[in-house]
Amino acid sequence: VSMKDDKKLLATLGLCVRAGKVIFGVPMICDAMRRGGAKMPCIVFEAADTSDNTHKRIADKCTYYKVKHIKITAGGEELAAALGKTAHLAAVAVTDEKMSLMAEKYI
């Protein structure tokens, strides 16, 4: 992923946030996958600087529930800043099919 595409991806994720189609944080993403339904993630973006344990947790859940999982080049701080959050973000999930396809273009 190039730096230019990275910026576009973060901007697109910001758009998804404003549309209310994003789940923030690993615990909430895992919960949403377990529950399924309308809030089922279509794609999960993981920050580049997550711990091995967090990465394994996300990757295993995504594999089990057949959800696309992508590790991006942006770190947790950068991801949080782009999405209007103050704390470090390990992962975000997009719950809208069309919006997830829009974000995937920049990968």
State the burial class of residue 25 (Cβ atoms within 10 Å of its Cβ: 0-12, 13-18, 19+): middle
Who wins on pLDDT, 4 or 32? 32
pTM (two decimals): 0.94
User: Do residues 72 and 79 make contact, with C-beta atoms less than 8 angstroms apart?
Assistant: yes
> Which stretches within 1-107 are classed as H helix?
3-18, 26-35, 52-64, 76-82, 97-104
User: Do residues 46 and 71 make contact, with C-beta atoms less than 8 angstroms apart?
Assistant: yes
Identify the pLDDT of residue 1. 58
Task: Convert the pLDDT of each residue in 29-83 to its tens digit.
Answer: 999 999 999 999 999 999 999 999 999 999 999 999 999 999 999 999 999 999 9
Task: Convert the pLDDT of each residue in 8-23 to its tens digit.
Answer: 999 999 999 999 999 9
Residue 6 confidence class, pLDDT cut points 50, 70, 90:
confident
Taking every pair of Cα atoms in the chain, the longest distance, rounded to a whole number of angstroms, is: 35
